[in-house]
Structure 1
């Protein structure tokens, strides 16, 4: 095994190929042969497609709608560079431009949240938790968001 450091890198563009059956929501039915070569190429090169939000397709031609515009990166990129990709509305072309947002990584490590028992006796404790704990779908992601909001409220109470 090669122990060299793998640098993160990313490719963004029109690949004129689909990876999944869902990549062609409108048009002829996708066959396994349509996706096999591209999927094997990515697997052999240890690459993966970054998830694209926004539009369901990135290219249309008459009655065919496909997601052939892609952002592909290696796993080092995905580990080190939190990235969001959005398919935007096409302006003059038949392709949707892809927007790439690279989230800033903060160097500082946050310490663990500690709940101190005296916070439960604070007069604003119960109201603060009730105000911030409003699960609105999203499963575990919704619970995580609520815990994050409650944490902020507890940190404010701790400072006072």
Structure 2
């Protein structure tokens, strides 16, 4: 549990490190503080004095906020019965670091089982997903259609060298029909869940968010069966 009374010790430590060393510096993690009021949603307003102290440390250390790709708020919790969202986790870098790693990007990843979202820092930037090769999914074994396709293909009277490839293609087509795009469904439901969290933090009913979280968790359980 963070001790607010010792936060000033962290600020002093960061400033001392800045004065002592002149190396390229990337500083990231849970700072348990926001820079500006719009980085907090729900609950009581954040202390202007606390935010100003954080901004002064950032300025004194010559830090630049690396921003984010993904979710704005990296922490969620309850305070006094209210849902609160904060951007507590972030990454800073000095000009020296950015001169050597100008493509550096920060990605905030969704998490439905922890109060903090993970942040991933990639000095080479964030690239798109490569084309995924065929792979047999464990969850297919729970459906009768999988066995039927494999038996039909291998018992076919016409056999040729690319039969395994044709079987794989047919399994992929069947999977899309039977399961849809699991990751697409998860992405869409996760976005709806994020919107519901914002709404609850602003006073909306909690039940809708609870139901969406259950749906997302069910999709995550199914996705966990995928290799």
Calculate the TM-score normalised by the size of structure 2: 0.41
Q: Distance in 1 between matches of 2:51 and 2:77?
A: 19
Structure in which a larger fraction of residues adopt helix: 2
Q: Which residue of 1 aligns with 2:71?
A: 55
Displacement over 6 Å in runs of 4+: none
Does residue 77 in structure 1 map to residue 97 in structure 2? yes
Q: Distance in 2 between matches of 1:86 and 1:76?
A: 21
Count how many residue pairs are aligned between Structure 1 and Structure 2: 100
Q: Which residue of 2 aligns with 1:17?
A: 33
For structure 1, the 5+ residue unaligned runs are: 105-160
Q: Distance in 2 between matches of 1:28 and 1:54?
A: 25
Which is greater in Rg? Answer: 2
Shift of residue 28 of structure 1? Answer: 2.3
What SS does the corresponding residue of 2:41 show, helix, strand or coil? Answer: coil
Does residue 64 in structure 1 map to residue 80 in structure 2? no
Aligned equivalent of 2:109, options 62, 65, 88: 88
What SS does the corresponding residue of 1:27 show, helix, strand or coil? Answer: coil
Shift of residue 91 of structure 1? Answer: 4.3
For structure 2, the 5+ residue unaligned runs are: 1-20, 126-227
Q: Distance in 1 between matches of 2:124 and 2:25?
A: 15
Does structure 2 conserve the Cα–Cα contact (< 8 Å) formed by 1:25 and 1:56?
no
Q: Distance in 2 between matches of 1:34 and 1:10?
A: 23
Kindly report which structure 2 residues correspond to 1:3-152, keeping only aligned pairs within 5 A, or say none. Answer: 6-62=22-78, 63-81=83-101, 82-103=103-124
What CA deviation, in whole Å up to 9, does each residue of 1:9-45 have, x standing for no partner? 2111100011112211333223422310010011111
Does structure 2 conserve the Cα–Cα contact (< 8 Å) formed by 1:84 and 1:102?
yes
Structure in which a larger fraction of residues adopt strand: 1
